[in-house]
Chains A and B, each alone.
Chain A
Amino acid sequence: MDELHIPEVGYSLVSQFSKESYVPVRSESINLPKKHSRLQHCDFPELFEKQFAPYFSRHIYPYIGNLEQQRQQAAVISGRRFKVSSALALFLLIFAFATFIYCGDIGVDIGDVVQGYSIVIPALFSWCYWPMYHYRKNLQESIYPKVIAFFGDEFTYQPEVAPSIESYYLSNLIPPCNVKSTEDYVKGNYKKVAIESFGLHLTRHVTNGKHTIEETVFRGLIIALSLAKNFTGKTVITNNFKLGLPHRLEHIKLEDPLFNQYYCVYGTDQIEARCLVTPSFMQRLLQLRSLFSNANIKCIFYDKQLSFAIETGKSRFESDSRFESEKFITDVTNILREMHLIFQIVDVLKLDEKTII
């Protein structure tokens, strides 16, 4: 794998996100090799995304050919394995029936057969999926660190890091669970505001009669901003009551009817909540909702942290289909828009400024 090159230009572009007067770098002004001509400006329609176009062409596009080859190979192998597995599963099923019909007295119990199947089928599925899993891992290690590096030296992408989620339980951002798994951890700083985000999957054991099954209680994205400000109270903005009802918090009626249609605000301090949930912030929250395809969102201002739980229902950075050819434009623009919105939230709330009062 080629060594990751972090350009110096990245951070300065990020710092310009909040300025309205910046002039986007036009990729036409950069002499791109002919093989990069497939990349179109229309792939990055937004102004801030246009700045990313030359970076994409220079640092990410060269890897795409190789990755596409890997994806195709993995898809072929997975396909072959799927055919073999299907045949094997069918054979085992016929064999099991034949055993029951013709050799009913050999002492094999139907429960044992079902149990055997419950082991064999997931094993076969894992075997089929393994090449695609390997491809995704490769993708994580080669593409996403480069995309995240665009936001500056301080931004790092660590797919294997498992961050602590204790503080999110304590602030009631996420519900209690039995099992958790984290992925795609991104950490960085924007205007001295520490940003942490990662994919999270929480499940709990539910007993239904004799059986205990695992039920997903949350699957999505956690974004946390650590601030210089210390909030005196607690403010919760939510449209996801599955993640827990706000206890001992007062309902705060805001004036924006569109915002009220999608979100409810609760808090311990009416004034602080109104200071935080300004019309600009409401606008950002509505944008965040549409960015994540109308996903349920819970947002909490508590202690020195502003945290979001966005229930996307899928893994972070997950492509729609790994069986179709792609240029990663969708994945990359989603990351860009997500980060751009986070930076806008920092700017709107002036989270970098320490409260003097």
Chain B
Amino acid sequence: MVLMFILSLFLILILFGYSWYVSIIRKRNKAREALSTIDVHLTKRSDLIPSVLKIAQKYMQFEKSLMMEITELRSQAQQHHARNTQVDVQNYFATAEELAAKLGQLMVAVENYPDLKSDQAMLQAQQTYTEVEAQIAAARRFYNSAVTELNNAIEIFPGKLIAPYANAETMLFYQTDSAAKAAIDVDNYFN
């Protein structure tokens, strides 16, 4: 009787552990899927850059250095990034965010060039850029949501014991860059 009870308990524990293991693998794959979705949308942004620069260079004579920086960052972002470790993912996000910040600067600079601002091709490019950015933001929210679930599954007991068997570890959140979060000095805009 005692043996049966111990066996049943053991079986229940194994089933419980296995379902946790399956859940961690599912969540890890979901987070990876979300990460690759971000990749798809960042590629869309990368693909948009040459056409934006092509339109912009006709008018923006004084923003050459900014355009050079964007080109450089784009090629950096297009290089293959390993995403096996947390540091890899962090670097990948950092490059993407740096590129986003520079592109944002370019879009703001467009305001100083009335001819460029009213250019039909530029207007279309800006609209597409806004949509791509909205999709990246959505992909980021999806990724962060998937990462939250994975991290919870790993960090809550007995997740920490099971995670190594599932070859899973906690993942980093995709946060916006520090420049975007920095406080704005309003005085600069009214001088």
Q: With A270-B37, A271-B37, A275-B135 as known contacts, state yes or no: A353 contacts B141, CB within 8 Å.
A: no
A355 sits at the interface (CB 8 A) = yes
Report yes or no: A271 in contact with B131, Cβ–Cβ below 8 A: no
Residues of A within 8 A of B66 (CB): none
A275 to B130, CA, bound (A): 12
B20 sits at the interface (CB 8 A) = no
Shortest C-beta distance, B179 to chain A (Å), equals 22
Report yes or no: A275 in contact with B128, Cβ–Cβ below 8 A: no
Residues of A within 8 A of B132 (CB): 357
Instruction: State the main secondary structure of chain B at its contact with A.
Output: helix
Report yes or no: B127 in contact with A356, Cβ–Cβ below 8 A: yes
A18 to B126, CA, bound (A): 21
B145 sits at the interface (CB 8 A) = yes
Residue-by-residue, is B56-93 near A (CB-CB < 8 Å gives 1, otherwise 0)? 00000000000000000000000000000000000000
Number of A-B contacts (CB under 8 A): 33
Query: How many interface residues does chain A have, given as a range?
Result: 10 to 19
Residue-by-residue, is A272-307 near B (CB-CB < 8 Å gives 1, otherwise 0)? 111100100000000000000000000000000000
Q: With A275-B134, A357-B131, A357-B132 as known contacts, state yes or no: A270 contacts B124, CB within 8 Å.
A: no
B173 sits at the interface (CB 8 A) = no
Report yes or no: B128 in contact with A357, Cβ–Cβ below 8 A: yes
Query: How many interface residues does chain B have, given as a range?
Result: 10 to 19
B41 sits at the interface (CB 8 A) = yes
A258 to B118, CA, bound (A): 41
Report yes or no: B131 in contact with A355, Cβ–Cβ below 8 A: yes
Shortest C-beta distance, B29 to chain A (Å), equals 14
Q: Which of B41, B124, B127, B128 contacts A271 (CB 8 A)?
A: B41
Shortest C-beta distance, A282 to chain B (Å), equals 12
Q: With A253-B145, A271-B139, A274-B141 as known contacts, state yes or no: A356 contacts B124, CB within 8 Å.
A: yes
A255 sits at the interface (CB 8 A) = yes
Residue-by-residue, is A322-353 near B (CB-CB < 8 Å gives 1, otherwise 0)? 00000000000000000000000000000001
A-B contact pairs, 9 of them (CB 8 A): A271-B138, A273-B138, A274-B138, A274-B141, A356-B128, A357-B128, A357-B131, A357-B132, A357-B135
